[in-house]
Amino acid sequence: MRRRSLFLLVLGATLTTASGADAGDAEAFARVVVDVSELRSGPGISYRVIRTAERGETLPLEGRPGAGYWLEVVLPDGRHAYVLGDEVQTYAVRTGEPGAPSRPGLLAAPPLEGARGGLAIVGGVLSVATDGSRRGSGYLEVRPSVVVHRTVSLDGFVGDAPTSRGQHIVYGGGATFHFAPGWPICPFAGLGGGGVTVVPNADTFLHRRRDFLLARASAGVLFALRGRILVRIEASNMSLFTANSLENAQTYVGGMGVYF
């Protein structure tokens, strides 16, 4: 009880200093003082763990909800979480001090740590090379994903591109590898496979339905914004093949995604 009373006294002084008129631009922070601290979605052990923080990690402090012993902090990706007060040390610093930590800005770390799944919707151009010529058309793709680790996700994809030959329906799955999951601008690469079905237009009599197997390699960049929102820019190369033919196609897309 004595330790808790002392902690609450220090916390109160920290928050008072951070919000007081004489403190200028002082901000309150919490530094993890245990080996690993579990950050939860609410102020209690019954809430889900959404991230872990290691000793020495510093998080912006929002306050103490209610009369409990939990503190509300801001994660690098802009989400709010709760940490047990026994596991952190609170302090205040002035903006501009050497080595002073900062709060997340417009860009934040990608919300891959603690995420279970995601969904992205991208659109752009599908370019297909066939019969010695190249044809381009609009392209839209929906991509659900399961996050295995912050560096790896398993993805499905379904896309559609209307062309003069008919609808190109693209489908399949694969894996995406994030090379810098802690950076606000995160490069990634993906490998996958599946199929492509070309369905002729109703008024086209010269073409018939065709089915291809698909191998796809892609690369791009994630721009992570606060609130777990991602801007995705990506280019991919696809090989479309059957037992008797081989075609090549590329997609150049951009869009929005979210992890949860």
How many Å apart are CA 193 and CA 128, to the nearest integer?
A: 17
Q: Do 128 and 218 have their domain in common?
A: yes
Of 36, 63, 94, the residue that ends a domain is: 94
pLDDT band at 101 (very low <50, low <70, confident <90, very high): confident
How confident is the model over 117-170, as pLDDT tens digits?
A: 999 999 999 998 766 677 889 999 999 999 999 899 999 999 999 877 778 899
Q: What's the predicted TM-score (pTM) here?
A: 0.71
Beta bridge mates, 247: 240
The residue behind tokens 């802690």 is 182
CATH classification of the domain holding 129:
2.40.160.20
Q: Do 160 and 78 have their domain in common?
A: no
Q: What is the DSSP letter of 35?
A: S
User: Are the C-beta atoms of 12 and 20 separated by less than 8 Å?
Assistant: no
C-beta neighbour count of 156 within 10 angstroms: 15
pLDDT of residue 244: 87
Provide the residue range defining the domain that includes 221: 117-259
Q: Do 156 and 254 have their domain in common?
A: yes
pLDDT of residue 156: 97
CB contact set of 27 (below 8 Å; sequence gap of 6+): 18, 60, 92, 93, 94, 95, 100, 103
How many Å apart are CA 130 and CA 97, to the nearest integer?
A: 61
Does the pLDDT value for residue 15 go beyond 70? Answer: no
The reply to whether 100 falls in a domain is: no
Out of 11-25, 90-104, 169-183, which region has the weakest mean confidence (pLDDT)?
11-25
How confident is the model over 49-59, as pLDDT tens digits?
A: 888 899 999 99
Q: Do 68 and 144 have their domain in common?
A: no
For 88, list phi and psi in degrees, rounded to 5.
Answer: -135, 160
DSSP string covering 170-239:
EEEEEEEEES-TTSSEEEEEEEEEEEEEEEPPTT--S---EEEEEEEEEEEEEEEETTTEEEEEEEEEEE
pLDDT of residue 207: 65
